[in-house]
Amino acid sequence: MSKLHVFDHPLILHKLTYIRDELTGTKEFRELVEEVAMLMAYEITRDLPLQETVVKTPVAEAKASVISGKKLGLVPILRAGLGMVDGVLKLIPAAKVGHIGLYRDPESLQPVEYYCKLPTDVHERDLIVIDPMLATGGSAAAAITFLKQRGVKNIKLMCLIAAPEGVARVQREHPDVDIYTAALDEKLNDHGYIVPGLGDAGDRLFGTK
């Protein structure tokens, strides 16, 4: 069973409060989402492998560590996922970024991929899939399936707010994928919005409401 990591860092919780606030405007919303993504990236990368090295300080040689150069990739799900990418890249600037866009077929209700551009060596990379609002979990689960079909082995899912329904679906379909979220909310409403959530993340990020 995949692990669910819900963050409890005071800075993340503080910023999330203002992200949720309906009075927060587009500029501040965007900045706060980026900042929370950066703070979350710090924790999500906690298990990156290190290798030993030696560094010469002005005083003496010191045994030291550097990240071992494991290949990482970020895959935001369009469009709200874009809002968290720059925050993660502040801490992992060398990560490659792929994009996946999905829509729900109105008849079959199944997610259909309408856009997918990934690093050519995606199958060799550990990926962080970014879906800020894990609502039903349909898009995230489908995106992860598409990535696995392309040979990706190691995937983490990064969200801002998750609903129990979305967590359950991803854990059922992808028990190997750990989920990282800044908050686990109460439920989904009849329109598929997370309650209390923050509204439509894409609209609030891009000012399209």
Check residue 133 for interaction with ligand URA (CB under 6 A).
yes
Q: Which residue, 72 or 84, is less far from ligand URA as judged by CB?
A: 84
Check residue 193 for interaction with ligand URA (CB under 6 A).
yes
**Is 199 known as a binding-site position?**
yes
Residue 92 C-beta: closest distance to ligand URA, Å: 25
Whether residue 34 contacts residue 88, with contact meaning beta carbons closer than 8 Å, is answered with no
Count of residues near ligand URA by CB under 6 A: 10
Site for ligand URA in 8-67 (CB under 6 A): none
Helices (H) and strands (E) in the chain, counts: 6, 15
Closest CA to 132 of 65, 78, 90, 174: 78
41 residue type, one letter: A
The answer for residues whose C-beta is within 8 angstroms of residue 22's C-beta and 6 or more apart is 199
From 12-20, 38-46, 100-108, 198-206, give the range in contact with ligand URA by CB under 6 A. Answer: 198-206
Residue 84 C-beta: closest distance to ligand URA, Å: 13
Whether residue 90 contacts residue 84, with contact meaning beta carbons closer than 8 Å, is answered with no
Residues that bind ligand URA (CB under 6 A): 80, 133, 135, 192-194, 197, 200-202
